[in-house]
Chain A
Amino acid sequence: MKKKSINNHTILLLITVGLFIILYGAGYISYGVIETKGFEKLQTFLDILRTNAALICIACGMTCVMLTGGIDISVGSLVAMDCMILAVGMEYQEISPTLLVPFVLLIGIVFGAVMGYLIGYLDIQPFIVTMAGMFFARGMTAMICTDQVNIAKSNWFKDLAAIKVYMPFDIGAVVNKRGVKMVPYVNVAVLIALVVVILVFLMLRYTRTGRSMYAVGGSHTSAALMGLNVKRTKMITYILSSFLCSIGGICYCMNTMCGTTTQALGLEMKAISSAVIGGTLLTGGVGNVFGSFVGVLINGTIQSIVSFNADLTRLGGTVPNVVSAFLLFLFIMLQAVFAKLRERKQG
């Protein structure tokens, strides 16, 4: 039998998963076993998924972009714009969501195509182009409407967002004080996010486009010499990222049911840090969607633990940021150490 060697990247992924287990375990023991505040319930885990459904979609797109060695910092603003379009369209213009949802997805594709063209074909730095995209989307949000628009009118979008998808076979069901059986549930956004993760994972692993993304990120020149269309691959990556971001925007809107100009501020950095924690390198060529998914879960768990801890909550909403920055530091140090080790092995 051929012995499978574990390479450094697999180790990074394993560390990510291990860290998630440790972190969640710590929360479980402190707030589920020692103090019974409810962390032990399955619902807590599902709530992490529920609040981060949009981020999961976006982190998948970000992973693809980072695989090609680029970066996309326009995602947060694009989410805000999508939410605003959905909210204003449904509330003020009374357009059916049947039209609006495909329209938002189309906007994502067009937005990504423009940025992808500028980056791929005109060879402009991704940071600058997506920064312009970020300004544009954020400003557009304010142009559409500067107020907070709540979606109050009932339509199928609102009904869809309100659907509770209960766990099958009553997994993790608990009986509360009044004797009512509570079955843990997720919403549709979570299902969308999970489907996105699986599809992007399969795409990166088995399709020509997915493999090209790895190749382009590994080395532009080698990819070009191999006969891959580097420019086209880059453009497709940004289209994919913006498209996934639009899906994320729809998920985000399902959770918040409103559109404001300050929505999803800093979401791009959350997505990037999730991807980095998940083992994706900014230099490109290395990474995994599953890692990014776990990265999002780690960030969500930190937030959840902080919300369970009364002392930390009193300090304000910034504690998760400090903790997640520290974890980010831990991770990139680990990555750096592995990179050094590998260098030594080769050299």
Chain B
Amino acid sequence: MKSVKDWIKKISKKPLFLPLFSVFLVLVINVIYDAVQGNYIFSFFTFELKEGALYGRIVDILNRGSEAAILAIGMTLVVSSSGGTDISVGSVMSLSGSLCCMLLAGFGVTHVRGPEELQMPIWVGAVAGIAIAGVVGLFNGFLVARMKIQPMVATLIFFTAGRAIGLLLTNNKMVYILLDEFKWFGLGKTWIFPTPTVIAAICIALMVLVLRFTSLGMYVQSVGINPRASRIAGINSAAIILLCYVICGLYAGVAGIVATSRIYSADSNNIGLNLELDAILAVALGGNSLGGGRFNLAGSIIGAYTIQAITTTMYALGVAKAQAPVYKAIIVILIVVVQSPAVKAYFAHRKAQRESLAIAGRS
């Protein structure tokens, strides 16, 4: 009995405990729901192959959560290095998607129905979209790192302007690219997996490799904990912060192309709407402090998929899309309250009291 208690105590101190625990809760709710509905209990976990593509609820969650996961990677670095959040990512997604579609279709053209109407190869458009996101990241990074402006204010500029510039680029219209090659990024499949999951996996793998084989991760954490001390220790703090914002921007660009391809059109008003909040939430759920410093990439990514799992589960439970935020808010509050230092201190105090009472009772 004691060993179980110890085990729980030990495991609950692990940094990944909270995100994994939330995932576990979501799974349990799904299983209970299936049981109540009289479905096959483990239908949540089933996969099936239809026309060479993988289907299933987990695949769906992984697929739909791709953009948030990609954003969460960049956001983790930004939060860790600068102790602030990049709220422009959603807007930047829309900007990169708009630029991509505008380049492919030509300014003022609203429909591309055949390959012969394309103004340039699709990959050029996609790369340009990602590049402009990188430029925005550079701008944000310059403001934060060199001009020492609070991250939220600095990124507020492109939060306001990104979507608006996107709309100007597309001449205030929806630009449709009705080509299967373009739809591939968001709706296609690579082997049997949906392409977005593959893109997300590549993004994650790239970042993991960079963190493993370079000392970027350590530098980022050290800058986040104390920029001055890191500077004295010989780290170029400003350059590290700048780099983090550029990476965040580039990843936002990738997410933007995926999101645009999903609806095969540049819908500036809706692409990436409120996705920056999901990304920030994912970072917080992953057990990272929003005040900067130590970071846990795996936690953020699991956090992003957890949010998607919660959303998908809520839709499966029959919650209307517009009302889902209420439950999301309650879940968020519960999680952060459990994580908060005051509550932790309270429980530690209670425990200490109980122990001292027990000692007093014994003597």
Interface size class of B (residues with CB under 8 A): 35 or more
A118 touches B326 (CB 8 A): no
Which residue in chain A gives the minimum CB-CB distance to B333? A132
The reply to whether the CB of A1 lies closer than 8 angstroms to some CB of chain B is no
Query: Interface 1/0s, chain B 273-292, versus A by CB < 8 A?
Result: 00001001100100000110
**Which of the listed residues A128, A129, A332 has the most CB atoms from chain B within 10 Å of its own CB?**
A128
B160 touches A131 (CB 8 A): no
**Complex Cα spacing A2 to B147, Å:** 35
Interface-forming stretch among A12-20, A21-29, A99-107, A323-331? Answer: A323-331
A131-B280, A332-B143, A333-B147 known; A124+B160 contact, CB < 8 A: no
B160's partner among A261, A328, A339 (CB-CB below 8 A) is A328
Which residue in chain B gives the minimum CB-CB distance to A320? B164
A325's partner among B157, B168, B328, B343 (CB-CB below 8 A) is B157
The reply to whether the CB of B341 lies closer than 8 angstroms to some CB of chain A is yes
The reply to whether the CB of A127 lies closer than 8 angstroms to some CB of chain B is yes
A140's partner among B154, B156, B326 (CB-CB below 8 A) is B326
The reply to whether the CB of B152 lies closer than 8 angstroms to some CB of chain A is yes
Query: Interface 1/0s, chain A 120-143, versus B by CB < 8 A?
Result: 011111011101111110111011
Besides A139-B323, A321-B163, A329-B157, 15 other A-B contacts (C-beta < 8 A): A123-B341, A124-B337, A127-B152, A132-B330, A134-B329, A135-B325, A139-B326, A143-B326, A269-B160, A276-B153, A281-B150, A318-B167, A319-B168, A322-B168, A324-B160
Shortest A221–chain B CB gap in Å is 15
| Pairs A-B, 4 closest by C-beta atoms | A142-B322, A139-B326, A139-B325, A325-B161
Within 8 A of B (CB), among A277-292: 281-283
A142-B322, A146-B320 known; A132+B332 contact, CB < 8 A: yes
A131's partner among B281, B320, B343 (CB-CB below 8 A) is B281
A283 touches B150 (CB 8 A): yes
A122-B342, A123-B342, A336-B147 known; A128+B164 contact, CB < 8 A: no
**Complex Cα spacing A142 to B168, Å:** 31
The reply to whether the CB of B120 lies closer than 8 angstroms to some CB of chain A is no
- Residues of chain A with a CB closer than 8 A to B160's CB: 269, 273, 321-322, 324-325, 328
- Residues of chain A with a CB closer than 8 A to B143's CB: 332, 336
A131-B281, A321-B164 known; A315+B172 contact, CB < 8 A: yes
Interface size class of A (residues with CB under 8 A): 35 or more
Within 8 A of A (CB), among B295-326: 320, 322-326
B325 touches A136 (CB 8 A): yes
A282 touches B291 (CB 8 A): no
A269 touches B159 (CB 8 A): yes
A316's partner among B168, B281, B284, B328 (CB-CB below 8 A) is B168
A318 touches B327 (CB 8 A): no
- Residues of chain A with a CB closer than 8 A to B333's CB: 118, 129, 132
The reply to whether the CB of A86 lies closer than 8 angstroms to some CB of chain B is no
A122's partner among B85, B165, B324, B340 (CB-CB below 8 A) is B340
The reply to whether the CB of B336 lies closer than 8 angstroms to some CB of chain A is yes
The reply to whether the CB of A272 lies closer than 8 angstroms to some CB of chain B is yes
A135 touches B328 (CB 8 A): yes
- Residues of chain B with a CB closer than 8 A to A124's CB: 336-337, 339-340
- Residues of chain A with a CB closer than 8 A to B231's CB: none
**Complex Cα spacing A139 to B330, Å:** 11
The reply to whether the CB of A71 lies closer than 8 angstroms to some CB of chain B is yes
**Complex Cα spacing A21 to B105, Å:** 43
Question: Could you list which residues of chain B lie within 8 angstroms of chain A, going by C-beta atoms?
Answer: 85, 143, 147-150, 152-154, 156-161, 163-165, 167-168, 172, 277, 280-281, 284, 290-291, 320, 322-330, 332-333, 336-337, 339-343
- Residues of chain B with a CB closer than 8 A to A281's CB: 150
- Residues of chain A with a CB closer than 8 A to B291's CB: 125
- Residues of chain A with a CB closer than 8 A to B290's CB: 125, 127-128
B154's partner among A128, A146, A273, A332 (CB-CB below 8 A) is A332
Shortest A16–chain B CB gap in Å is 15
- Residues of chain A with a CB closer than 8 A to B320's CB: 142, 146
**Which of the listed residues B148, B291, B333, B343 has the most CB atoms from chain A within 10 Å of its own CB?**
B333
**Complex Cα spacing A246 to B145, Å:** 37
B152 touches A131 (CB 8 A): no
Which residue in chain A gives the minimum CB-CB distance to B143? A332
- Residues of chain B with a CB closer than 8 A to A272's CB: 153, 156
A321 touches B161 (CB 8 A): yes
**Complex Cα spacing A135 to B277, Å:** 10
Shortest B132–chain A CB gap in Å is 15
**Complex Cα spacing A134 to B325, Å:** 9
**Complex Cα spacing A328 to B87, Å:** 15
A332 touches B153 (CB 8 A): yes
- Residues of chain A with a CB closer than 8 A to B158's CB: 325
A133's partner among B147, B159, B329, B339 (CB-CB below 8 A) is B329
**Complex Cα spacing A139 to B327, Å:** 8
**Complex Cα spacing A72 to B323, Å:** 21
- Residues of chain A with a CB closer than 8 A to B277's CB: 131, 134-135
